[in-house]
Structure 1
């Protein structure tokens, strides 16, 4: 089985955090989003994962490429890198990894995480994972019949079709057939809302007899902007709270850590109260501060800070007072 992850977007809604780091490499509970995603898919996948294809923008650089290959290696797979320079829709993006569309495949978008308690049924023609939402107009949705078979897929409906939103994870038994449907869209310049839509390829599969069914996750976690990413970090820390999350290589002096919190190697916490729901990256230093429900990335300094619902980048410095803060890499903020 192969996994294909399109992640070439520049993450504009997550700026300033994506000015120096691609959004899928931002940390959730101490690991990059895409690393968590790959691990979670591996847990529900009953078969060996052979290759993971990462479709990225060329500007991400060799260091990012090597880190992605290592993520694949950690689940026993081979990592391959594919480049997408211009965005013309998901079907267009996925075809850069066309060689991987053979046999059984999983397609997963790199800005979504999930919790599930099932094993993937690889005997199905296709599975589209969904979750009920209050406002389906912002998502692709599916309509199902009385037998729980998907009968219709609609991209961001303007009138109500269904409240089952597509979360961005798909399984297909016949990868070649999916590849042909996407290529047909490109060859015939078939666009919807100006792009080569993935839902159009799925509709093509259905017309040729493929039986697509919904897969229901226990929880869907978004990483689309700062606030929801901080919330996802909170939920993920809850999921893994029974693990050892505070590194033995961290220094905690005259401080209280209220679990669940992640504290990375080499972090220093002095005269502070941290938690609940805080992730602290490697070699970060926190002094005389009170922080809860926040993500503090690597090699950052926080002094006399009162932070909540905040996200600080790498190599940043914050000295100050109470804040709901989004501070990017290498920034310095001294509150007066």
Structure 2
């Protein structure tokens, strides 16, 4: 199996935080978004993990150079982004026709059982049940959970199973053929080459797809949702019990980074303090402090401090 992570986006909705970092490297609960995604998939032992980069590509390259524990990695630059379908097509020359492929969008966190992929014998799209399917692409399934068709933002109810951005492809050769057909014939949706159009072609050609559930779908697309995701994920990386000082109160869940200096403050709940931060005379809750930040004499709530 190979894993492909598209991380080329420029994160415009997260300005100013993405002015110097790609969205996938924003800190959440003591790690980057990319750390959480990749570390949760390492048990699958991919032969290679391919990152489709674009915005701040050199920053991702430098980051990956420090992640030797991730095994073999490769970056492919999407110079002129023309949709997710085009992004995936750039990775396919490095994936064998008979080699399973796991695609995970590199800007959203999730909680899902990926272990089913170790024995999977068909294509799988992970889905999350939503209250308002009109905002999403959805999978329409039969009684046995087999996908019959994909529908983009249906205005009339056809399914509540939203496609969340985790795609396991067993029929890699057919995916290659479908994406090539779209691109050679310049078939676009909303002026982009869409992966879902290629997947729909695969279904129509007889490829078997089924759904698998996502128990949590954690958005990182806006500052407020990033903070909500930080609060949830901190339960997996809470080290507040390790930080005990007479003049410092840390309320779980919190993550306190290496060499952080806290003096006369109350931290938490739901706060991630980056490495090397200095915090003095503060009360902070529901916040993310990036590495090296200094905060003094403040009362903060629901904030991201990046400089």
Cα deviation, 1:19-72, whole Å, max 9, x if unaligned, reads 0100000011111101101112234x3xx2111111111x5153421313544x
Equivalent position to 1:116, from 101, 112, 115: 112
Q: Is the 8 A contact 1:108 1:170 kept in 2?
A: yes
Runs of 4+ in 1 over 3 A off after TM superposition: 250-253
- In the alignment, is residue 291 of structure 1 matched against residue 287 of structure 2? no
**Which stretch has the larger CA shift, 12-21 or 86-95?**
86-95
The alignment's C-alpha RMSD in Å is: 1.9
Equivalent pair of 1:251/1:266 in contact (CA under 8 Å): no
The alignment status of 1:260 with 2:253, answered yes or no, reads yes
Deviations 1:119-165 (A, max 9, x none): 12343321111101122222211111111111111222333332111
Q: Note the 1:324-335 alignment, pairs <5 A.
A: none
SS at match of 1:106: strand
The question of whether the paired residues in 1 share the 8 Å contact of 2:41 and 2:114 is answered with no
Q: How does 1:65-104 map to 2 (within 5 A)?
A: 65-71=61-67, 73-75=68-70, 77-102=71-96, 103-104=99-100
Alignment match of 1:64 (pick from 57, 60, 72): 60
Higher relative contact order (CA 8 A, sep 6+): 2
The number of residues matched between the two structures is 304
TM-score, normalised relative to structure 2 = 0.93
2:132 is matched with 135
Post-superposition Cα deviations, 1:92-139, rounded to whole Å, max 9, x if no partner, equal 111111223320110010111111346123433211111011222222
Match of 2:115, SS state, is: coil
Tell me, what secondary structure is at the counterpart of 1:130?
strand
Instruction: Structure 1: give runs of 5+ residues left out of the alignment.
Output: 317-336
Give the 3-state SS of the residue equivalent to 2:90 in structure 1.
Answer: helix
Q: Deviations over 1:139-193 (max 9, x none)?
A: 2111111111111112223333321111101101132321221111101111112
Q: TM-score, normalised by structure 1?
A: 0.85
Q: Do the aligned partners of 1:271 and 1:289 also contact (CA within 8 Å) in 2?
A: yes
User: SS state of the match for residue 62, structure 2?
Assistant: helix
Give the gaps of 5 or more residues in structure 2.
Answer: none
